[in-house]
Amino acid sequence: MADAMQVFDRTLVRRRRDRAASRMAGVAPVLEAAAERLLDRLDDTTRRFGHALEIGGRGAVAPALRARGVGHVVSMDLSARMAGGAGGLPLAADEEWLPFAPGSFDLVVANLSLHWVNDLPGALLQIRRAMAPDGLFLASLPALGTLQPLREALAAAETALRDGLSPRISPFPELRDGAALLQRAGFALPVADRETLPLRYRTPLALLHDLRAAGEGNAVLARDPRIPPRALFPMALAALRPDAQGTLPMPLEMLVLTGWAPGPDQPKPAPRGSANARLADALGTVEQPAGERPPPRH
C-alpha cells in the first residue's frame, strides 16, 4: 500500500481495540442500537443467508444475525481479543488484507468499523471479491458531523494554547461519497443513506469514557506526538454546554451502505432504445425534429 494512503496508525488501532475488548459492556447499548439500525435492511429482502462475515462487530452483530436465522457467522476483527468475544467463529485479520477465497460469504456486515481503514476503496473491493454472487453487503460508518462539537471545542482550545492544530478526531466520510465507493468496488444496486442515533451524555467526561471503552481513541498518523497542554482538555470540555435538559447531545451520524455482489438474478437496466413510450408524450411537450432548434425566448 502506498505511503500516500496511510492516514491511520493501524498498530495503534489494534492495541486500543485489544484494551477495549474487556470493556464492551459499557458501550454495548450504543453498539447494539447501531447494529439494529443497520440490520433492519435485512427485513427488506426475502433472501435467506447461510454464511456471514461480520467485520468489527464487537459483540453486537453476530447474536443479531443468529436471531435472524443466519446459521454460520465468522467474527473478524483486527484485534484477536475483540474477535474472541464477538459471538461468532473468531478470526483475527486485517480489513486491508482479507484472507478469504472468492465467493466465501453470501452476507458481509461491517458495523462502525471501516472508518479506521486506510484504503477504504481497496477494502471494499476485497470484500466484494469474498462474496458469492447475489450476496449482500451492509456497512455503517460514522459520517461527517459525528463528534463535531467535540472537534470544534478541541480545535478552539488548542488554537488558544499553542500555535497550530493537531488532528484529534478521525476524519469521517460524507453521504455523497457512499454510493460512489460501492460502485468503484464493483457492487451492484448501490445505496447510501444516513441514520442518526441520538445520544446524550450527562457530562463531557462520560463521552470520553465511552470513546475509550469502544477503542475509538485518536489513531491519526498526523497527530501531534507531544504531550498536550495540561489545560487543553479541561478548556475544551468546559466549552461543551449542556442543553435545556441538562445533558450533552452528541448524536452518532451514520453513513449506511448497501450493495449486492453482481449475480445473474439481479434486475438489469433495459437495453438502450427499448422504450415503448416517448418522453415527449409523457411530458406533454412537442418534440423538435432532429437538426431543428427551438425559437429563441425573449
Residue 208 has pLDDT above 80, yes or no: yes
**What would the grid cell of residue 182 be?**
460501492
27: phi > 0 → left, psi -120 to 50 → alpha, else beta; which?
alpha
Top pLDDT among 276 and 125 is at 125
DSSP H or E stretch at residue 132 = strand 131-142
Distances from the Cα of 35 to the Cαs of 72, 98, 99, 254, in angstroms?
18, 22, 24, 11
Distance CA 81, CA 277 (A): 60
β-strand partners of 188: 260
DSSP H or E stretch at residue 203 = none
What does the pLDDT read at residue 4?
A: 46
CA atoms within 13 A on the CB side of 196: 9
* pLDDT category of residue 184 using cuts at 50, 70 and 90: very high
Distance CA 180, CA 57 (A): 24
Top pLDDT among 55 and 4 is at 55
Top pLDDT among 36 and 1 is at 36
Positive or negative: CA dihedral 257, 213, 169, 9: negative
* pLDDT category of residue 10 using cuts at 50, 70 and 90: very high
What does the pLDDT read at residue 119?
A: 93
Positive or negative: CA dihedral 237, 239, 245, 249: negative
Domain range 3-144+172-201+251-262, CATH architecture: 3-Layer(aba) Sandwich (3.40)
Stated pTM of the model: 0.86
Within the chain, what is the greatest distance between any pair of CA atoms?
75
